[in-house]
């Protein structure tokens, strides 16, 4: 178990991953960095099977950025003048943009890795609250009390049609491919990253997961497993094991972060 107390929080956090492929790399990656208040998952894609490289680059870039800025009072904002929200949000966004640049450069520098990219979800727990960043269909859930809610909305073709093509029928929607994402790291130099800030409360449980998990487990089942297993490690282990039992076609990764009262 990883435990740490980056003021004003005390929490426990664990991550687990599982591969559906008997041979070949797991294209998911995760990072649990309690001393930095940073938690991240990434799902790689493209580039002749180099998706595992993309997801690793994403996690490593964020870790390095948070280490480098750990003691800094100010972090240069990646946003236009006047658009910045606060230091903690700037820090998280800058780290995700660094990850994007590294993946983009890796794909551009090797013809065999064209199309290299990764979806991502990251959570930063610092003195300024809980900050979230995501691109693609990695999700962040919040369990508060008896309610589980998704804090993120998938950047997917299906959701884009639902949002902008209001006259689409359920039959037409069912025909759309469900695995096409509309945002990801590495596919361009200026990615669209969705940011949020949540006011955390003791007892909150944050679940970061790749689509390999949320595509095969219903929210009611996720909630039941989280309630049955209070410890972060046991819950993460159970979620991945259950998803693997369902015989999904994608790698499965999750990170559990539970906020504890001081």
For the chain, give every domain's residue range.
2-257
pLDDT over 60 (residue 83): no
pLDDT over 50 (residue 49): yes
How many percent of the chain have pLDDT more than 90? 61
pLDDT at residue number 2: 45
Minimum mean pLDDT range among 170-179, 190-199, 252-261: 170-179
| Adjacent-strand bridge partners of 142 | 149, 206
Exposed, middle or buried: residue 169 (CB in 10 Å: 0-12, 13-18, 19+)?
A: exposed
pLDDT at residue number 141: 98
Query: In sequence order, which residues have a C-beta less than 8 Å from that of residue 260 and are 6 or more positions away?
Result: 9, 10, 11, 12, 202
Confidence tier at 4 by pLDDT (50, 70, 90): very low
pLDDT at residue number 56: 96
Q: How far is it, in rounded angstroms, from Cα 148 to Cα 28?
A: 24
The DSSP bridge pattern shows strands 194-198 and 38-45 to be unpaired
Specify the higher pLDDT residue, 238 or 250. 238
Minimum mean pLDDT range among 84-98, 130-144, 230-244: 84-98
Minimum mean pLDDT range among 9-13, 77-81, 145-149, 249-253: 77-81
Provide the terminal-to-terminal Cα distance of the chain, rounded to the nearest Å. 18
Q: pLDDT of 115-140, one tens digit each? A: 899 999 999 998 768 999 999 999 99
Specify the higher pLDDT residue, 104 or 165. 104
2-257 in CATH: which number? 3.60.40.10
Q: How far is it, in rounded angstroms, from Cα 214 to Cα 198?
A: 21
Confidence tier at 24 by pLDDT (50, 70, 90): confident
pLDDT at residue number 86: 81
* Average pLDDT of span 220-230: 96
Specify the higher pLDDT residue, 128 or 218. 218
pLDDT at residue number 79: 61
Helix-helix angle 51-68:87-108, to 10 degrees? 140
């Amino acid at each position: 178990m990883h435990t740490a107390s980056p003021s004003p929080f005390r929490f426990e956090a664990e991550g687990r991953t599982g591969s559906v492929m008997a041979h070949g790399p797991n294209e998911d990656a995760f990072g649990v960095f309690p001393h930095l208040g940073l938690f991240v998952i990434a799902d790689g894609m493209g580039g002749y099977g180099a998706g595992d490289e993309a997801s690793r680059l994403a996690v490593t870039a964020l870790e390095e950025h948070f280490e480098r800025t750990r003691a800094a009072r100010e972090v240069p904002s990646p946003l236009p003048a006047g658009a910045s929200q606060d230091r903690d949000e700037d820090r998280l966004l800058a780290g995700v943009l660094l990850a994007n640049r590294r993946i983009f450069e890796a794909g551009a520098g090797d013809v065999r890795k064209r199309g290299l990219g990764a979806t991502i979800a990251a959570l930063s727990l610092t003195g300024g609250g809980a900050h979230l960043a995501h691109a693609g269909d990695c999700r962040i859930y919040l369990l508060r009390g008896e309610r589980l809610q998704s804090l993120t909305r998938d950047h997917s073709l299906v959701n884009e049609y639902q949002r902008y093509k209001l006259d689409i029928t359920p039959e037409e929607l069912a025909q759309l491919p469900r695995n096409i994402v509309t945002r990801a790291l590495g596919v361009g130099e200026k990615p669209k990253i969705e940011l949020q800030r949540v006011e955390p409360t003791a007892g909150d449980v944050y679940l970061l997961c790749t689509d390999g998990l949320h595509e095969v487990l219903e929210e009611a089942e996720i909630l039941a497993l989280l309630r049955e297993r209070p410890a972060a490690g046991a819950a993460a282990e159970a979620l991945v094991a259950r998803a693997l039992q369902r015989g999904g076609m994608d790698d499965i990764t999750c990170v559990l972060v539970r906020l504890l009262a001081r």
